[in-house]
Structure 1
Amino acid sequence: MRLEFLKEMPKAAIRVRLDLTTLLAALFFTWTVQLLLPVILTYLVYEKQQKLRLMMKMHGLKDGPYWLISYFYFLSLSSVYMILFVLFGSFIGLDIFRLNNYSIQFFFLFIYINLQIAFAILLASLFSSVKTASVISYIYVFGSSLLGEALLKLFVEDASFPRLWLVIMELVPGFSLFRGFYELAEYAASGNHKGKSGMQWGDLNDPANGMKDVLVLMSIEWILLLPVAFLLDHRPAWHPLFLFQILSTKHSSPRWRLDKSKQSFSTKIFADMIKDDVFLERKVVKRSLKEIDTRNMIICHNLKKVYRGKNGNPDKLAVKGLSLALSKGQCFGMLGPNGVGKTSFINMMIGLVRPTYGTAYIHGMDLRKDMTEIYENIGVCPQHDLLWGTLTGREHLMFYGRLKNLTGAALIKAVEESLKSVNLFQCGFGDKSVNKYSGGMKRRLSVAIALIGNPKVVYMDEPSTGLDTTSRNDLWNLIKRAKKECTIILTTHSMEEAEELCDRVGIFVSGNFQCLGTPIELKARYGGTRILTITTAVEHEEEVARLITELSPSATKIYGMSGTQKFELPKREVRLDGVFGAVAAARGLFPVQGWGVADTTLEDVFIRVAKDARAFDVLS
C-alpha cells in the first residue's frame, strides 16, 4: 500500500510548566549569595582605613574579642540573609529550594557563609583602602560566577575530566558555591521530570554527586583559613618575606656598622653639648628605677627608635635615647617643630611601634611586656578625630566607657558628665550622629573619649586644634581638673596652651629634648632679655640705635622697617627703669610715635632653642 502522508495519533495534552530554576541556573544564585562578601570586606577595611580598630585597641579592646564579636555579627547577618533567601525561593515555587531536602540546603549554606566570613577576614588583612577592596571583591564575585558557568560547568559535565583537577578548582570558594548550586539544580530538575523529590542525604554517596566533596572541601578550607587570616593580620611579626628580610639585614650589616661608626662622633659631640636640665632628668630616671616605687609614675628610660633605611638610604634615628620621669598629677607638654620625632615617641608610648632600644614603665607596667594591661589604663586623643560617622556622641562614650569596665548606673553617669564637660549635652548634640558635628564638636568628643573611665595616663595630640576661644578655655579647664587624678602628656604648637596647662615643658628637636623645665624656668634660663619696640620717623632710626647702644652695649637689633625697630636688651645690663629713662630721653630729642617693652615669651624660647639645635645638627 502506498504511503501518502504521516499523521500523529491523538494524545493527552501536556501541561507546559516554566521552571525559573532552569532559566536562572546556578549562576544567578551564586551571584546572590556572594554579594555578602563585599559588604563584610568593606566593613572590615573601613575600620582599618579610618583607624577605628586602632582607636579601640588603644582603649583596651583586645584582638581576640574584636574578631570574635565581628565574626558572630557577620555570621548572624549572613544566617538571616540565607534563611530569607531560601524561604523566598520556596515561596515563589523554585524547584531548587522546594524539592531538595531543606536540611541539606541549610547545612550547605551554613558551611559556605562561615567560609566566606573567614575569606573576607583574610582579604581584609591585604587591603588598606575601602575603594580598592570594594572593586576587587565585586570583580571576584562576578568573575568567579561567570567562570563557573563558562568553565567549571563544562568540566563537571565532562566525565573524562580528572576529578582531582575539579577538587583543585573548587578550592576557590566561588567555584565551590557554584558546584553546590549546580548539583542542587540538577537534582531538582531530575525530580521535577520524574515526579520525585530532589537531593536527599542518601544521594551524597552517589559517585556522580559532587555535593559531598564540596561540603568536605569547604569545611576543611574554613578551618584552615581562620589561622592563616590571624597570621596575616599580625604580619609585622609574621611577614611572608620575613626570611628574606633577615637575609637582607645580614648582607647590609657592614653598612649598618659603618653608619654606627659615623654616628659615634656625633653622639660624643651630643653628649658634650647636652643641657644640664636634660642630663639631670636622666639621673632622676636612673635613681627612680632603683629607689622609687614606679607604680604611680611614668618613666621613659633611654628610648630609641631607628627606622631602617630602604633602597640604599641611610637609617633614620628618629628618637635618640629619650629619658623622662613624670609623677601622678602632672601635665607634661612636648613642644617641637614638625618631623622631629614627637609622633614616633607618642607611637612608642601607645604601643603602635616597638622601641629599637630602651623601654618605658607606665605605673609599674613595662612597655615591652605589658602593653595589653597598659591599654586598659590609658586614654588617647589622637591628632585626627577617629570616629564613626553613623554613631552619636553618646553611643561613642557608651562604647568606650564599657571598654573601661564601666557598667550600669556608673556608665550612664559617666557619659552624662562627659557630655556636659565638653558642652555636647545642650540642645541634644550628644544624641545626634557624628557626621552632623562640626570640626570643633568632633574635637571635644575625642577629648571626652580620652578622659572617660578615669584612665591613669592620657595622651593628647594637639587637643584644642580648631576650637574657638570659649570652647578652648572650657577644654583647658576640663584638662586642669582631669590631671589631678592622672598623668597627661600632650603635644601642642600653642605656647599659650603650654603655659596654661603644663606643669613641665620639654622642647623636642632632632630626636631628643633640648631643654626641660617649667615655663617660668625656661623663660628665665633662655630668655634673659627684654624686647624693646620703638617707632619713630625713618630719619631718626640712627639716633634711636645710638641711644640704645649707650644704654646697653650688648643690645642687638632684631627687626627694623619703616621707622619701627626692635632691640633685644640683656637683663643683666639693663634694668627696667633704665629702659624708661632711655625712652624719655628719646622723646626729648624727637617725636616717638609708639613704644613698648616686654619680657621674653615661651615662643621666643622655643624659637631660640630650635635654631640652636638645628645649627648644632649642621655642624655635627
Structure 2
Amino acid sequence: MADSSNAPSSFWTQANALLRKNLIFQKRNIKTNIRLVLFPLFLCLLLVLIQMLVNSELDKPSRRCGCTCVDTGNGQCETRCGIEYSTLDQAFSCPIPHPPEWPPLLQVPAQQYRAVRTDVTSYGDLPGDSCKQTGSCPVTTLITGNNQTFGQTVAGNMLSRPLNINFSDILHSLADYALGSESKTRVVSFIDSAFLSSFPVDLLQPQCLSTSRFSVAIKLGSATLQQDVRCAQGLQLWRNSSTEINDELYKGYRKGNPERKINEILAAYDFENSNENLFNVTVWYNSTYKNDTGNQPLSLIRVPRSINLASNAYLQFLLGPTTKMLFEFVKEMPKSGTKLRLDFSSLLGPLFFTWVIVQLFPVVLTSLVYEKEHRLRIMMKMHGLGDGPYWMISYAYFLAISSIYMLCFVIFGSAIGLNFFRLNDYSIQFVFYFLFINLQICLAFLVADWFSTVKTATVVGYMMVFGTGLLGGFLFQFFLQDSSFPKAGIIAMELFPGFSLYRGLYEFSQYAFNGNYMGTGGMQWKDLNDSNNGMRDVLIIIAVEWLVVLCTAYYADQVVSSGKNPLFFLRKKQKNLSSSSFRKPSLQRQGSKVFVQMEKLDVDQEREKVEQLLLESSTSHSIICNNLKKIYPSRDGNPEKFAVRELSLALAEGECFGMLGPNGAGKTSFINMMIGLIKPSSGTAYVQGLDIRTDMDRIYTSMGVCPQHDLLWETLTGREHLYFYGRLKNLQGAALTQAVEESLKSVNLFHGGVADKKAGKYSGGMKRRLSVAISLIGDPKVVYMDEPSTGLDPASRNMLWNVVKRAKQNRAIILTTHSMEEAEHLCDRLGIFVDGSLQCVGNPKELKGRYGGSYVFTMTTSPTHEEEVEKLVQQLSPNATKVYQISGTQKFELPKNEIRIADVFEAVENAKSRFTVQAWGLADTTLEDVFIKVARGAQEISTLS
C-alpha cells in the first residue's frame, strides 16, 4: 500500500474522483442510455406516422374541393373546381366567395328533455310528464320582471304571428318566425348544422295544427339540402323573480339523463324595470350542446335570435303588430380554399411529451435509491467523500444527462418536421425545459429519502410518469379550457410540478396548432405578455419551486441520510477529547432492578487507562472509546435492547484489536457507531482526537472500512473501484497507479485479467478480497474490518492475513471474526464481547493463561470400560471435570496444578495393559475453549441478573 499525503483530499479532488467514477458507470450502461433515448424518438416517429396516415386520408379526392370538366363549347374540356362542383364533404375545403344564407335559429331542448312537472320542479303551470309519451311537450320560456302585465304582453309578441309561409321565397318568409333546432353546433360553420342533420327544424307557435310540417330547400354548391320543418308549441310562463328562474333552471339541469348536460328550458327573459320608455332585458340562453373543441362555445351562434325576438316584440308593443325588425339570415364570411390538416403533434403533444420528459424522473430516482439500497453512498462517505462534492457532481451529472436527452428530443422532433418544435421559439423552449429538468432532479433527490429499495422506487416513479400525463390530459386540461374557472385555481394546481409541465407543453401545442392552421408562427417572447398565455406564470412557478425544493432536498439529505440532528445548523461544534463528557457509572438500571455490574480486572484496567488518556493533552492512541453505549428503543411490545453497554477501550497506533463474541453480542453495533452508521445513545469515542458525535466528516478522511457485506458497483471493475477510492484518499498520478497495483497484487486480484473484470462477475471470495483492498488503500490511520475472511479458501485467507499483518504497522485496526485461528494469528489484543459488554481484554497468551488453567484429556475405549477410565482420571486429578461423553469417547478437564504430564503418560501405559485403548490425547487449552468458557459464564450471570 503506497503512502499518501496525510492531508485529507480537497473538494475538487473528491469531485474529480466521483466524476470519473460516474463517467465510467455511464459508459457501462450505454445500452440502457440508448433505450432511454429511443423512447422519445419512438413517440415522435409514432406521431409522424399518425400524421401521415391522417394526411393521406384527408388528401383523398372525396375530401378535397370538388372539380369537374366543363365543356367550353369548342369541343375542349376545362377543369373547374369550386363549391358548386363539390359534395357536402368536399365543401369544407373549397373557396367560398359567396357563402350560403340560413335563417337564424334557437337552441331548442329535445322532446324527451323538455320541462314537465316533477317532484323537484313542482310548478303547477308546467305540463305533466305524460306529454313525453305522445311527443307533444311544449317548448317552455320563462318570463319575469318588475311589471308582470308589461312583461307578459311583450313576451306574447314573440310567437303571436299567424303561420303564413310563402313557399316561393321560403327562406325570406321563415325570417318572420322563431325557428330552433336540437342539433349540435359544429366547428366549421359555413352553414348551421341544423340543415345538415337528421333532426327537423322546430318552428315555434302558440298552437300547432296536425299538418304543421313542411320541407325547406337550401342550395349548397351543387347539392340541394332538404330539411323538414315541424311546428313546436311554445309555452311562456311567468315567474315572480329572477331568483325563481335561476332555481328552476338549476334544478332542471341534467334532469332526465345524468350522463348528459341537458337544459329543459328554451330561454328565460328578465325585463327588470322596462316600460314604454325604457327597454332593459336580461336573457338566459340554452347551452345544452356546448362544443369545446375550440376556445369559444359555438352554441353562441344561436344566441342572437333570442335577443332579436325580445327586441322585435318590444318594437311591436310600441308601434303595433305590423311593425317588424327582421333578422333575415345568417352567413359565414367569405373564405379562400383550404387544405384540411390536423397537426397531431400539437394536439397530442402535451400528453405524449409529458410522458417523455417525466420519464427522466424515475431514471434519476432509481439511480439515487440504488446507491442508498446498496449502501454505496455511505461507503463513499466513509472513505472521505464529502456531501458538497457528492451533491455538486451528482447534480451536474444528472443535469448533463437530462440536458443531452432533451436536446436530442428537440433536435429530432424538429428534424422530422413536428410543428410543436419548429414553430415555437427555441429560446423559450430551452428556458422552459432547462428549468423543469432542474426541478425534476431536485424532486428526485428529495423523494429518494423516502425509499429504501429500487423496486419500490421504480414502481412509484413510473406510476408518477403515467399518472402525471393522464391527470394532465383528462383532468387539468378541462380546467384550462374552462374560461369560467378562476385563474387562481389554475395557478394553485400548477404548484404540482407535473401540472406546471403540462401547462407549458399545452401552451406550446396551442400556439403551434393555431400557427399552423392560421399560417402564423408559434410562441414568441412577446406572447408571454398575453393575458391568456400561462407560460410566464409557469416559468415563475418552476423557477421558485426549483430553489425551494433544492434547499429542502439538501436539508432532508443531511437529516435522513447523514443522520444529523434536525437543528444541526443551530448547534455549535463541540470540543474534541473533552474530559467533561466522561462519566464512570457504577450502577446500572434495567427495568425496576438495580444491580452492580461485575467487571473483570482487565476490563477495569482498560477503563482506568481510558480515564487517564482523556486527561492528557495529547496521546498516541488512535482510538479511545469512552463509556460508549447503544440502546435500541422498545418496539412492538418488546423491551429495550442493550446492544453495547458502556464500553471503554483504547487502541494505540500499530495495534490490531480483535473482537470476539457470539451472534447478537453487539460487535456490529459497535462497528456501526464507530463508522457513523448509527449514533451512540450515550458516551462517545475519539478517532485521531476527533469526536464521532460531531466530527465524522473529518474522521472519514482518515478511515478505511471493510464492511460485513460487500458494497460494490456491479458494473465497475476491481481496478476502477480502487482508482476511485484511491483518489478520495488524495492519491494522484504515479502514486495512485502504484497503490492500486500493489493493492491488487496483495489480495491476488492482479493477474489473469481479474483486475479488469466487472465486480458483478466476481465470486464471493474475490469480492471480500477487493473490499479488504479498498479498506487499506490510501494509508488510512484507522481501519475497521468486519469478518474480512468470510468465504475465502485457506490459501486466500493466509494471503489476506499477511496483508493485514503488514498493514497494521502504522495504523490501528479493529477486526471482528468468528475464526479463533484468525484472531490468534492477526490480533495483538483480543476482547470477548457478550450481551453488549466487554468481558475480558488481553493478548491471546494472556487470555489462555488466565482462563485456560487446565489440560484437556481425551480417551476412547469400548463402552464397557468407561467406568475404568473415570477411575483413572480421578486418581490423576481429584478435581477433574468431565465435559464430554459419547460411545466410549470421554473428555475431561484436568487442573494443571494437580498433575504432571509424565504421570499421565505412565497412567495411560498401565491402562493399556488392562483394557484396549483405541485413542487418547492430552492438549493444552485453546483460544476457542477460552471463548466458550467466557461466553457461557457471562450468559449465566446475565440470566441470573
Match of 1:203 in 2: 527
> How far apart are the structure 2 equivalents of 1:262 and 1:348?
22
Which region of structure 1 is more displaced relative to structure 2, 396-405 or 583-592?
Answer: 583-592
Q: CA deviation at 1:302?
A: 1.2
Report the AA paired with residue 613 of structure 1: A
Distance 1:265 1:276, change over 3 A: farther
Query: Does the CA contact (< 8 Å) of 2:588 and 2:594 recur in 1?
Result: no
CA contact (8 A) 1:191 1:197 kept: yes
1:190 partnered with 2:403: no
- Deviation per CA, 1:230-259: give whole Å up to 9, x if none: 22221455669xxxxxxxxxxxxxxxxxx9
Decide which of 330, 343, 351 is 2:655's aligned counterpart. Answer: 330
**Structure 2: gaps spanning 5 or more residues:** 1-167, 171-216, 224-334, 568-586
- In structure 1, give the amino acid aligned to 2:339: R
Residue 341 of structure 1 pairs with residue 666 of structure 2: yes
Q: What is the aligned partner in structure 2 of residue 574 from structure 1?
A: 899
Alignment match, 1:402: 727
Q: 1:309 aligns with which of 598, 616, 634?
A: 634
Q: Deviations over 1:20-59 (max 9, x none)?
A: 3145231001111111111000000010001000101111
Alpha-carbon deviations, 1:243-285, whole Å to 9, x = none?
Answer: xxxxxxxxxxxxxxxx9754685541x1xx3111111111111
Identity of aligned residues (%): 61
Alignment of 1:225-244 (within 5 A): 225-233=549-557, 234-235=559-560, 236-237=563-564
TM-score (ref. length: structure 1): 0.93
Larger radius of gyration: 2
Query: Equivalent residue for 1:8?
Result: 221
Quote how far apart the aligned CAs of 1:413 are. Answer: 0.9
What residue in structure 2 maps to residue 246 of structure 1? none
Q: Give the Cα–Cα distance (whole angstroms) in 2 for the partners of residues 569 and 340 of structure 1.
A: 30
Give the match for residue 839 of structure 2: 514
CA distance in 2, matches of 1:9, 1:264: 104
1:391 aligns with 2:711: no
Q: Alpha-carbon deviation of 1:164?
A: 1.1
With 516-525 and 343-352 compared, the bigger mean Cα shift is at: 343-352
Give 3-state SS (helix, strand or coil) of 1:198's partner: coil
Cα separation, 2, equivalents of 1:94 and 1:420? 58
1:242-321 matches, cutoff 5 A: 261-262=589-590, 266-268=594-596, 270=597, 273-291=598-616, 293-311=618-636, 313-321=638-646
Equivalents in 2 of 1:260, 1:552: separation in Å? Answer: 41
Query: Which letter maps to 2:440?
Result: Q
Query: What are the ranges of 5 or more consecutive residues in structure 1 without an aligned counterpart?
Result: 241-258
Whether the 8 Å CA contact 1:232–1:238 is kept in 2: the answer is no
- How far off is 1:343 after superposition? 1.3
Q: Could you tell me which residue of structure 1 aligns to residue 884 of structure 2?
A: 559
- Whether contact under 8 Å (1:419, 1:425) holds in the other structure is yes
Find the partner of 2:938 among 602, 613, 616: 613
CA distance in 1, matches of 2:753, 2:648: 45
Moved more, 606-615 or 574-583: 574-583
Kindly provide the CA deviation profile for residues 495-544 of structure 1, in whole angstroms up to 9, marking residues without a partner as x: 00000000100001111111110111101110111111111111111111
CA RMSD of aligned residues (A): 1.9
The answer to which of 87-96 and 12-21 deviates more is: 12-21
| 1:470 aligned to which of 782, 795, 801 | 795
Of residues 126, 147, 158, the one that matches 2:450 is: 126
Match of 2:369 in 1: 45
Tell me which of 125, 145, 149 is aligned to 2:469: 145
Q: Alignment partner of 2:221: what SS?
A: coil
Match of 1:440 among 753, 756, 765: 765
Supply the distance in 2 between the matched residues of 1:132 and 1:491 (Cα, whole angstroms): 34
Give the Å deviation of 1:344: 1.4
Contact 2:686 2:692 in 1 (8 A): yes
Report SS of the residue matched to 1:82: helix
1:73 aligns with 2:377: no
Cα distance in 2 for residues equivalent to 1:405 and 1:376: 9
Amino acid at match of 1:192: N
Alignment partner, residue 743 of structure 2: 418
- Asked whether 1:490 is paired with 2:811, we answer no
Cα–Cα, structure 1 residues 475 and 436, in superposed 2: closer, same or farther, change >3 Å? same
- Give SS of 1:532's match: strand
2:868 matched residue in structure 1: 543
Alpha-carbon distance between aligned partners in 2 of 1:108 and 1:126, rounded to the nearest angstrom: 28
Other structure's SS at 2:715 match: coil
Query: Structure 1 CA distance, aligned partners of 2:588 and 2:810?
Result: 43
Which sits farther off after the overlay, 580-589 or 465-474?
Answer: 580-589
What amino acid sits opposite 2:219 in the alignment? L
- Following superposition, the deviation at residue 2 of structure 1 comes to 8.5
CA contact (8 A) 1:331 1:503 kept: yes
Question: 1:413 is matched by which residue type in structure 2?
Answer: Q
User: 1:8 corresponds to which letter in structure 2?
Assistant: G
Q: 1:566 to 1:478 in 2, by over 3 A?
A: same
Contact 1:392/1:430 (<8 A) preserved:
yes
Tell me whether 198-207 or 298-307 shows the greater mean CA deviation. 298-307
Q: Please report the TM-score for the alignment, with normalisation by the length of structure 2.
A: 0.62
The equivalent residue for 1:371 is: 696
Structure 2 contact 684–693 (Cα < 8 Å) conserved? yes
Partner of 2:411: 87
Pair 1:180-2:393 in alignment: no
Residue among 847, 855, 874 paired with 1:530: 855
Is contact 1:231–1:238 with CA below 8 Å preserved after alignment?
Answer: no
Answer with 359-368 or 164-173: which moved more: 359-368
| Structure 1 residue 389 displacement after superposition | 0.2
Structure 2: distance between partners of 1:611 and 1:413:
48
What is the Cα deviation at residue 229 of structure 1? Answer: 1.3
- Whole-Å separation in 2 of the counterparts to 1:165 and 1:26: 20
CA shift digits 1:463-507 (9 cap, x unpaired): 000000000000000000000011110000000000000010000
Q: Which amino acid aligns with 1:392?
A: T
> Which SS does the other structure have where 1:368 is aligned?
coil
Query: Which of 778, 784, 788 in structure 2 is aligned with 1:453?
Result: 778
Whether contact under 8 Å (1:534, 1:594) holds in the other structure is yes
Render the CA deviation track for 1:339-385: whole Å, top value 9, x for unaligned. 11111111111112222222212122222232111100010000000
Structure 1 contact 295–362 (Cα < 8 Å) conserved: no
SS at match of 2:937: helix
Q: What displacement does 1:567 show?
A: 1.1
Q: Are 2:659 and 2:816, in contact at CA under 8 Å, matched by a contact in 1?
A: yes
Structure 1 CA distance, aligned partners of 2:589 and 2:687? Answer: 33
CA shift for structure 1 position 604: 0.4
Q: 1:197-254 deviations in whole A, cap 9, x for unaligned?
A: 11000000101001111100011111101121122221455669xxxxxxxxxxxxxx
Q: Distance in 1 between matches of 2:699 and 2:444?
A: 31
Partner of 2:181: none
Matched, 1:357 2:682: yes
Matched, 1:28 2:241: no
Residue-by-residue CA offset, 1:181-203 (whole Å, 9 max, x unaligned): 10001011111122111100000
In the TM superposition, 1:494-505 aligns within 5 A as 494-505=819-830
Q: Is the 8 A contact 2:347 2:513 kept in 1?
A: no
Measured in 1, the distance between the counterparts of 2:682 and 2:880 equals 45
C-alpha distance after superposition, 1:535-575 (max 9, x if no partner): 11111111111011011000111111111111111101012
Cα distance in 2 for partners of 1:284, 1:267 equals 24
Instruction: Report deviation, 1:315.
Output: 2.6
Shift of 1:309: 2.0
More helix by share: 1
Distance change (3 Å), C-alpha of 1:590 and 1:295: closer
